[in-house]
Structure 1
């Protein structure tokens, strides 16, 4: 089925103002980087400039179903995202990640539609201050998961939902991709996804916690993670980090969370 969204052309033109891009092309029905794409990325990195990646957009040709192409587009984005991580390329903290599948103005040349568009900006180096205070940088979620043992619980940072719902907001995509990477790179890993909410003294809204945990579960299944490796559970407000009622917004944010428990490695 072929769909064309002309509005996307206008949106993309606006996005690109003041930014630059790299186009990475993929083989038919593949999401691994081919030699040409790797060479393109390596040449871009070797230019010696300071770059920050702000957006990753994935695309497919029109062959296949919409659902299949949406997933394939995101898997292509995921491949590029992991490559950037391994090369220590600076990535925007709230990077915009989108999989357009086949829903865009397609080129007559199908090979041009199988791509990821990497959008970046040049970073001006800051003036070096003599004897700057040391910065403490904690381990990433992926590093924590790789070190975690059976029974350990790791918080999914920067995952956000619309108010009173289980629908992700767009800036949740990077941490979801990071979780997906962990599951793909550790094929024996089994996890329980745990949902928690805040502010609920009578536990009337526990179903929201479970729905949010299930949303993460569904995301992983959609991206081909075996459901036998996954489970989910909503704990409502029964396991708060801070006593309920919370005293401030910071404590509310601390209680409102999704966590990953290692069930088996």
Structure 2
């Protein structure tokens, strides 16, 4: 039965392209390295004292039962871990997982009896989360001013533009919306690399037959372009009632007002 054991930070580590990797090989049914492989591991440690390990994967060949191979692979990983801990930095959140027959065996049996270290070089550690595909949750205070929300936001973040209102059943912006419009204008003026998508939403009906949500997003863009913001920095779309905050029909006017909104999505900063 083919099997292997993986000791890793995140399951998807196996598919990452920005990590380095290094392997050592074991003799049949052994979980300690022979002298040749010990020297190889010691050399790697010496060269990678400033690197950071994100995963250690253990593998076995086809010989033995599934349970036996899982245990053997685990012991191989533990052996490597005990030899490198406190010598090379290791992420604290890695886990053990048995993947069983998902391991594609090499026809050369000796290549299957290995432990592979996945690591990040010192020059790339500042990009560690990016390399691992970890998206950090950014908490943006709801009552923060727009410029602060933009500063905290990452690409892909959506921000509701509060206090932008329209006359009923039209895309004409009401005068009390001027403060919010100028806040957005100033943010774009002060962040020349910022590109956004303006997204319109409406409430109360099942279908935006008149494309009112799109027209409202376009009207906000018209204001910004008229004030000197290059149009290529602003795209627009209308979602109608396809992305409501509250289920339609809304239970009250407060819910309807929440659904009837304009948002921006950060495209680049």
Larger Rg belongs to: 2
Give the TM-score of the pair, scaled to structure 1: 0.47
